[in-house]
Amino acid sequence: MTFLDTNSFQIHNELNDEINILEKKKQALIEETRKDKELIDKLRNIDSLEHFARENYNLKKENEEIFIIEYEEND
């Protein structure tokens, strides 16, 4: 004998939807963590660290000139 209550069915569906949303967030965070670990591994190499600093923080060596060339995107 089975009792189906409309409220329990609705609650069950809402909980399943919430589980699906949380699973997607979990996968996104796992991917972000993987990318961060890759970046950390790359930055352990001094050449990669210098490259990262130059690109992201516009750092330069003494007596060095840097020219930033930006291209327009044609959509």
Q: Quote the pLDDT of residue 52.
A: 85
| Spatial distance between the Cα atoms of 50 and 63, rounded to a whole number of angstroms | 16
The whole model's pTM is what? 0.58
Q: Quote the pLDDT of residue 2.
A: 60
> Which of these, 54, 74, 49, 51, lies nearest to 66 by C-alpha position?
54
User: What number of CA atoms fall less than 13 Å from residue 32's CA on the CB side?
Assistant: 6
**pLDDT per position in the chain (75 positions), as tens?**
566 677 788 888 999 999 999 999 999 999 999 999 998 888 888 888 888 888 888 888 888 887 878 888 886
Return the beta strands (E) in 1-75 as ranges. Answer: none
